[in-house]
Amino acid sequence: MSDPEQDNRKRDLKIAKNEAAREIKSDVRLSTWAIGVAIVVGLLVLALFLKR
């Protein structure tokens, strides 16, 4: 029979690993959106500059 404290530790480590993976995916998604918005804004500024 295993120690309940050991089981809790394993479960907590697994939860922490899953949360870390989810956070990385969220960060990548946010970075992608930020890069996309920056490109769109840059293109708008370039278009306004070239239009003059």
pLDDT tens, position by position, 4-45? 889 899 999 999 999 999 999 999 999 999 999 999 999 999
Number of domains in the chain: 1
Looking at this protein, which amino acid is placed at residue 7?
D
| Domain extent for 7 | 1-52
Q: What single-letter DSSP state applies at residue 46?
A: H
pLDDT of 50 strictly over 80: yes
Cα–Cα distance, 4 to 47 (Å, whole number): 64
The model's pTM is 0.63
For the chain, the distance separating the N- and C-terminal CA atoms, rounded to the nearest angstrom, is 78
